[in-house]
């Protein structure tokens, strides 16, 4: 059939060529060549251009040389006739070629000059192409994807990178239509040169081959924290527009934004200074720094500190105190409850990295004994997992964080450090400082420190490496102190001067909690108190005229001592690091009389009321039969 059409086209073309030879402008009745330019017939009759008449040129010549009026119309008519004949021949030839045109029998996809193109293959052996995705090969990459900290997704996802666009899809759902839709969702420039079904078929073959021949692997941050030399968080994470079936933890980890200036630096220091005890202030200051660098410490074999158990006797500023330790989402008043199943607790631990995980174990005084024990056991489990790096999820997910527990119970364990948050924990400046803290100074400082750490990560790693083999027990705290001190030095501040603590004060604070049994500790406290009594005066409570911190008050059954006196007793006996544990044991054993949840009780003398520690006298006399009564050891004894 095609051969017949080609023969017909050839015959028509020959007719046109013969006609062209016969047409001579001199045979059209032109007089003296005056109308040579009246019509110009294109040299290539096979051209598809339309033949256009052109206006004759006008010359200043004598009137006598123009043809007579009866000859000019004849010339024009002949020209029109010839023009029409040629036009008809042209159309016939075009129709012949249309009928004889080759048929597209196949489509193929491939790369040509950095573009992803579709080839059109014809039955005559020729081919043409059209661009499907421009600038495709300049930055085209295919990966098998792993998500840091989310091992259950290993081997389930692929990633395609085209220029600055990222496409993520499930390997089990690979199909041309799926990849096509993913490309559109990621805003990849793609021309619709064929039907969606045909394009999906071509894309399926091309990308399937690329994916299954690919041995590259890429780890993407699924949770916040260090990945390489980058600290990942929601603001710098790769967000996959087409992936909506999994809620990556990193997407919910938002850092505070803002520029750190001198006013915010002052606000940060003022808030920390509200913590009355310098050693406790140092711990609260450095734990977030250790948390941010937790992965780096673990890589270098540095043991992370014990879990911090904040025992809230006074909950007036619970939110503000815990907020000092938060790295992410500081504008949200959210705490993870410990009243959950083991599975949910492990899920939260796995979702957390390079920060301080704060959990809430405060369940109220009305809670049942079962619930109280359940929450306490969850706190212990969390502390052991984090501190001793106990494997969860088959050891597939590393544990890199610092844990803080907000509770109402003192927990005695070698992986927990307790701090009592009572009415003496904060000084009187706290209400004013909190009231003026409209801007998140602490959060902005943490964000700025993270930027600093990324910029100087090699220097930070060198510091950790050099300190790795030193004989200090709490290496993480000491190294964090040195790193944070350098950061503040660059900004023109002295950590020791601003917060009034030095590293020697807290060097081994996490390791100095009394490890012997409580009976030995109580015996040491009892002997220490008897030894310190010579520095106090002693008065009967009913006969005292005023309240003084350096006085011990008593009646027939009890002895009242002030916070000042207790701190003095513990300091001279070397038991100051065990204050929290001592008070908790005294409370549990019934030797300490309290108001509500705290460790103190109000004493009233001459209309004045103050918070003192009320201790049973019998506690100090038991086991010391035959010795001098404790009150007789005081500096001055009245009415004993």
**How does pLDDT run across 81-96, given as a tens digit for each residue?**
675 677 677 666 655 5
Reply yes or no on whether the pLDDT at 49 is more than 60. no
| Confidence category of residue 20, pLDDT binned at 50, 70, 90 | low
Q: Which H or E element spans position 348?
A: helix 342-350
Q: How much is the pLDDT for 24?
A: 45
Reply yes or no on whether the pLDDT at 572 is more than 80. no
Nearest to 386 by CA among 483, 307, 271: 307
Chain Cα centroid distance, residue 448: 15
Q: How much is the pLDDT for 124?
A: 86
Q: What is the mean pLDDT of the chain?
A: 80
Q: 612 by DSSP, 3-state: which?
A: strand
Q: How much is the pLDDT for 130?
A: 93
| Confidence category of residue 22, pLDDT binned at 50, 70, 90 | low
Reply yes or no on whether the pLDDT at 624 is more than 70. no
Distances (CA, A) of 126 to 7, 93, 121, 123: 20, 22, 6, 7
Nearest to 283 by CA among 513, 85, 563, 543: 513
For 118-157, how does the pLDDT look when each residue is reduced to its tens digit (9 = 90+)?
A: 999 998 888 999 999 998 887 888 888 888 877 777 778 8
CB atoms within 10 A of CB 330: 18
Q: How much is the pLDDT for 274?
A: 92
**Helices within 533-628 (DSSP H only):** 563-572, 579-588, 617-621
For 281-336, how does the pLDDT look when each residue is reduced to its tens digit (9 = 90+)?
A: 999 999 999 999 999 999 888 888 889 999 888 888 898 899 999 999 998 888 88
List the single range of 19-28, 153-162, 314-323 with lowest mean pLDDT: 19-28
Q: How much is the pLDDT for 237?
A: 87
Q: How much is the pLDDT for 626?
A: 57
For 363-396, how does the pLDDT look when each residue is reduced to its tens digit (9 = 90+)?
A: 876 778 788 888 888 999 999 888 877 767 666 6
Query: How many percent of the chain have pLDDT more than 70?
Result: 77
| Confidence category of residue 433, pLDDT binned at 50, 70, 90 | low
Q: How much is the pLDDT for 29?
A: 44
Distances (CA, A) of 327 to 150, 356, 490, 512, 604: 21, 7, 22, 28, 43
Q: How much is the pLDDT for 45?
A: 37
Q: How much is the pLDDT for 174?
A: 80
Q: Residue 370, class by beta-carbon neighbours within 10 Å (0-12 exposed, 13-18 middle, 19+ buried)?
A: exposed
**Alpha carbons 157 and 299: distance in angstroms, whole number:** 27
Query: How many percent of the chain have pLDDT more than 90?
Result: 29
Residue range 215-234: average pLDDT? Answer: 91
- Which is it for the CA torsion 58, 64, 65, 69, positive or negative? positive
Q: How much is the pLDDT for 515?
A: 45
Q: 353 by DSSP, 3-state: which?
A: coil
Q: pTM of the full predicted structure?
A: 0.68
Q: How much is the pLDDT for 102?
A: 79
Q: Residue 52, class by beta-carbon neighbours within 10 Å (0-12 exposed, 13-18 middle, 19+ buried)?
A: exposed
Residue range 51-75: average pLDDT? Answer: 47
Nearest to 442 by CA among 266, 235, 243, 221: 266
Reply yes or no on whether the pLDDT at 362 is more than 80. yes
Please report the beta strands in 186-251, taking only residues with DSSP state E, as ranges in sequence order.
Answer: 217-221, 225-227, 230-232
* Strands 336-337, 356-360: pairing kind: parallel
- Give Dmax over CA atoms of the chain in angstroms: 162
**Alpha carbons 144 and 136: distance in angstroms, whole number:** 19
The number of residues making up the chain comes to 640
| Confidence category of residue 238, pLDDT binned at 50, 70, 90 | confident
- Which is it for the CA torsion 193, 198, 200, 201, positive or negative? negative
Q: 301 by DSSP, 3-state: which?
A: coil
Range ranked top by mean pLDDT from 401-405, 542-546, 623-627: 401-405
Q: How much is the pLDDT for 224?
A: 94
Q: How much is the pLDDT for 223?
A: 92
Q: How much is the pLDDT for 181?
A: 85
Residue range 610-616: average pLDDT? Answer: 93
| Confidence category of residue 589, pLDDT binned at 50, 70, 90 | confident
Show Cβ contacts of residue 79 under 8 Å, excluding neighbours closer than 6 positions. 28, 38, 39, 53
Per-residue exposure over 547-585, b if at least 16 CB sit within 10 Å of its own CB, e if not? bbeebbbbeeebbbbbbebbebbbeebebbbbbbbbbbb
Residue range 245-262: average pLDDT? Answer: 88
């Amino acid at each position: 059939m095609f051969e017949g059409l080609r023969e017909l086209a050839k015959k028509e073309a020959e007719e046109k060529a013969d006609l062209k030879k016969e047409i001579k402008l001199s045979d059209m009745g032109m007089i003296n060549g005056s109308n040579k330019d009246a019509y110009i017939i294109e040299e290539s009759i096979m051209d598809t251009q339309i033949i256009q008449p052109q206006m004759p040129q006008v010359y200043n010549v004598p009137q006598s040389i123009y043809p007579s009026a009866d000859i000019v119309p004849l010339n024009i008519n002949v020209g029109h006739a010839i023009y029409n004949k040629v036009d008809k021949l042209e159309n016939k030839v075009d129709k012949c070629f249309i009928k004889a045109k080759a048929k597209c029998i196949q489509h193929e996809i491939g790369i040509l000059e950095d573009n992803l193109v579709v080839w059109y293959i014809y039955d005559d052996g020729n081919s043409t192409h059209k661009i499907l995705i421009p600038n495709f090969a300049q930055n085209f990459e295919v990966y098998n994807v792993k998500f840091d900290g989310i091992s259950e997704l290993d081997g389930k996802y692929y990633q395609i990178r085209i220029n600055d666009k990222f496409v993520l899809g499930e390997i089990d759902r690979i199909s041309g239509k799926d990849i096509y839709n993913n490309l559109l969702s990621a805003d990849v420039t793609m021309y619709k040169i064929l039907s969606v079904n045909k394009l999906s078929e071509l894309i399926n073959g091309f990308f399937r081959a690329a994916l299954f021949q690919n041995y590259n692997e890429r780890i993407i941050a699924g949770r916040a924290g260090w990945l390489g030399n980058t600290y990942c968080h929601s603001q710098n994470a790769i967000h996959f527009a087409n992936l909506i079936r999994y809620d990556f933890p990193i997407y919910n980890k938002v850092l505070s934004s803002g520029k750190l200036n001198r006013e915010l630096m002052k606000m940060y220091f003022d808030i920390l200074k509200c913590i009355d005890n310098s050693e406790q202030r140092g711990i609260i200051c450095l734990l977030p720094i250790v948390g941010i660098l937790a992965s780096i410490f673990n890589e270098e074999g540095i043991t992370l500190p014990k879990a911090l158990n904040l025992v809230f006797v006074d909950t007036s500023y619970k939110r503000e105190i815990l907020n000092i330790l938060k790295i992410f989402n500081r504008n949200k008043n959210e705490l993870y409850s410990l009243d959950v199943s083991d599975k949910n607790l492990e899920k939260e631990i796995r979702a957390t990295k390079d920060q301080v995980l704060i959990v809430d174990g405060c369940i109220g005084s009305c809670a049942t004994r079962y619930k109280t024990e359940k929450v306490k056991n969850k706190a212990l489990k969390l502390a052991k997992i984090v501190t001793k790096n106990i494997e969860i999820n088959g050891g597939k997910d590393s544990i890199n964080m610092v844990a803080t527990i907000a509770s109402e119970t003192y927990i005695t364990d070698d992986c927990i450090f307790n701090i009592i948050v009572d009415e003496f924990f904060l000084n009187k400046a706290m209400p004013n400082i909190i009231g003026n803290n409209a801007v998140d100074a602490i959060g902005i400082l943490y964000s700025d420190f993270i930027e600093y750490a990324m910029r100087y990560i090699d220097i930070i790693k060198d510091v950790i490496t050099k300190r790795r083999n030193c004989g200090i027990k709490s290496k993480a705290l000491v190294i964090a102190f040195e790193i944070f001190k350098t950061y503040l030095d660059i900004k023109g501040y002295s950590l020791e001067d601003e917060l009034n603590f030095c590293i020697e004060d807290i060097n081994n604070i996490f390791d100095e909690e009394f490890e012997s049994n409580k009976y030995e500790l109580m015996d040491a406290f009892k002997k220490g108190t008897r030894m310190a009594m010579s520095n106090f005066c002693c008065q009967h409570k009913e006969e005292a005229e005023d309240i003084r911190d350096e006085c011990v008050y008593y009646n027939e059954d009890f002895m009242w001592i002030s916070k000042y006196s207790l701190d003095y007793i513990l300091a001279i006996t070397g038991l100051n690091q065990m204050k929290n544990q001592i008070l908790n044991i005294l409370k549990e054993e019934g030797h300490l009389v309290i108001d509500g949840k705290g460790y103190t009780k109000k004493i009233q003398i001459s209309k004045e009321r103050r918070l003192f520690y009320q201790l049973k006298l019998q506690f100090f006399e038991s086991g010391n039969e035959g010795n001098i009564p404790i009150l007789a050891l005081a500096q001055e004894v009245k009415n004993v």
